[in-house]
Amino acid sequence: MAIATINPATGETLKTFEPLNDAEIAAKLDLAGQAFEHYRWTSFTERSHWLQKAADILEQEKADFAKLMTLEMGKPYKAAIAEAEKCALVCRYYAEHAPGFLADVPVKTDGSHSFVRYQPLGVILAVMPWNFPFWQVFRFVAPTLMAGNVGLLKHASNVPQCALAIEDIITRAGFPPGVFQTLLIGAAKVADLMADDRVKAATLTGSEPAGASLAAASGKQLKKTVLELGGSDPFIVLASADIEAAVVAATTARMLNNGQSCIAAKRFIVAEAIADKFEKLLLNKFLALKVGDPMQPDTDLGPLATPDILQDLDQQVQAAVASGGKVLTGGEPVSDRPGNFYPPTIITDIPQDSPIAQEEFFGPVALVFRVPDLDAAIKLANATPFGLGASAWTTNDQERDRLIAEIAAGSVFINGLVKSDPRLPFGGIKRSGYGRELSIQGIHEFVNVKTVWVK
């Protein structure tokens, strides 16, 4: 795959990049290894200062970074601004909390003095996706660098300028040379990186096949991985719910990032008693969305990131219709303008046991299912190989408690849309991956948890 900036709103190739050759990759690995030997002994005070400076840069130049994100992958400009702000937030969070998260933990034993110490591992490889080109990287960068590790970024090939901009932010923030580097390389080079002794662990956010490939390469080398993969998140609305509030959140949750988010609500599971009202309100919301130039402030839905994503989504929609699904709105690519545009789409009446009902739709397509009761809602929510997030709407305490206990997912949000928050661990189960990012759990993923016993 070419490493290039291709504007998804127009199809125009704006800039191309030559991938690093083997000698250039080796030089960057050498620099990373050397940087770690010094950086690991820097103080939390120094690291915090540099990370706070990175947050300053993100906030001060968010308009420029947002334009770059929108240009390369098509998210609405207003969403890109919010993404830059969130990156600053995670930097400040770990700058403040990492010293406490990584402090020695005393433990009473038969020794005179015992404790747990957290120490950095070394060079950590991050394989990151295009859909949140800054946020996905900074939620790795902030805990990784605060822990004393150094980072190598293999970003998606369609967001090279975002990848280079992030390295520049870290450099300008004052971090020592080599502590964070961007590698403009193709996916075929990842296995070789994992085989290099200087790379100690890896994290990947992306598709199931990409995660399986990295896990296999890491397994051969006995190196740890954290994987955050796909999702087909349920959005459950029960009869006791505030339906109007649920519909507003449902629209936001499905259209987030032009529908291209692993934690976007994808399967809307609605109690039969309120299904007619929910569908009518949801249809009205979808029809009111403005599709267009993502740089314009009033645009709600921009283009999909690549022509392949557009084609794949359209094929899934056609398969859903062929299985018995009914399209309420949308259902085919926008043909009256250039770019990778797909309209807001609602599909109902898909048989719950059809293969297409379990797939992840990565775009602005909502699948609506009707269920008779709570038991059926939970069963359908769990009837997927994924287990990332789930949103459920109810004002009944007993229903709430069952939903929390019985939904198989890495996170359950009651009466709110699923979102990542630096204060809460983020990740999935089943084929949505393993390990956690963010919060204290995230910073503990890539450290040596060292037992110390003294007598």
DSSP string, 393-411: E-S-HHHHHHHHHH--SSE
62-73 helix and 160-172 helix, angle to the nearest 10 degrees: 160
Q: pLDDT at position 333, please?
A: 98
* Coil/strand/helix, residue 425: coil
Q: pLDDT at position 254, please?
A: 98
What tokens does 63 get?
């308009």
Taking the C-alpha atoms of residue 356 and residue 316, their distance in angstroms, rounded to an integer, is: 7
Q: pLDDT at position 2, please?
A: 85
| Residue 285 shares a structural domain with residue 369 | yes
Strand partners, 201: 124, 224
Contacts of 308 (CB under 8 A, 6+ apart): none
Q: Indicate which residue of 72, 83, 91, 228 is catalytic.
A: 228
| Residue 279 shares a structural domain with residue 361 | yes
The yes-or-no answer on residue 445 being catalytic is no
Q: pLDDT at position 176, please?
A: 98
| Residue 354 shares a structural domain with residue 313 | yes
**64 within a domain of the structure (yes/no):** yes
Taking the C-alpha atoms of residue 277 and residue 331, their distance in angstroms, rounded to an integer, is: 21
Domain of residue 110, CATH code:
3.40.605.10
| Residue 154 shares a structural domain with residue 195 | yes
* Coil/strand/helix, residue 195: helix
Burial tier of 327 (Cβ tally within 10 Å: 0-12, 13-18, 19+): middle
Taking the C-alpha atoms of residue 240 and residue 116, their distance in angstroms, rounded to an integer, is: 47
Taking the C-alpha atoms of residue 311 and residue 338, their distance in angstroms, rounded to an integer, is: 14
| Residue 441 shares a structural domain with residue 372 | no
Element spanning 125, H or E: strand 123-127
pLDDT by 10s per residue, the chain, length 455: 689 999 999 999 999 999 999 999 999 999 999 999 999 999 999 999 999 999 999 999 999 999 999 999 999 999 999 999 999 999 999 999 999 999 999 999 999 999 999 999 999 999 999 999 999 999 999 999 999 999 999 999 999 999 999 999 999 999 999 999 999 999 999 999 999 999 999 999 999 999 999 999 999 999 999 999 999 999 999 999 999 999 999 999 999 999 999 999 999 999 999 999 999 999 999 999 999 999 999 999 999 999 999 999 999 999 999 999 999 999 999 999 999 999 999 999 999 999 999 999 999 999 999 999 999 999 999 999 999 999 999 999 999 999 999 999 999 999 999 999 999 999 999 999 999 999 999 999 999 999 999 99
Q: Indicate which residue of 87, 91, 162, 262 is catalytic.
A: 262
**13 within a domain of the structure (yes/no):** yes
| Residue 286 shares a structural domain with residue 388 | yes
User: Which residue in the block uniquely carries the two structure tokens 């299904």?
Assistant: 275
Q: pLDDT at position 1, please?
A: 66
**196 within a domain of the structure (yes/no):** yes
Contacts of 183 (CB under 8 A, 6+ apart): 20, 25, 28, 152, 153, 154, 189, 193
Strand partners, 433: 228
**150 within a domain of the structure (yes/no):** yes
Inter-CA distances, 186 with 13, 132, 237, 246, 420, Å: 18, 19, 42, 41, 28
Taking the C-alpha atoms of residue 455 and residue 340, their distance in angstroms, rounded to an integer, is: 66
| Residue 250 shares a structural domain with residue 389 | yes
How many domains does the chain contain in total? 2
User: Which residue in the block uniquely carries the two structure tokens 């591992």?
Assistant: 121
| Residue 29 shares a structural domain with residue 94 | yes
Full domain range(s) for residue 240: 233-421
**427 within a domain of the structure (yes/no):** no
**426 within a domain of the structure (yes/no):** no
pTM score, whole prediction: 0.98
Rg (CA), the chain: 23
Helices and strands (DSSP H and E) totals, the chain: 14, 20
The yes-or-no answer on residue 208 being catalytic is no
| Residue 328 shares a structural domain with residue 366 | yes
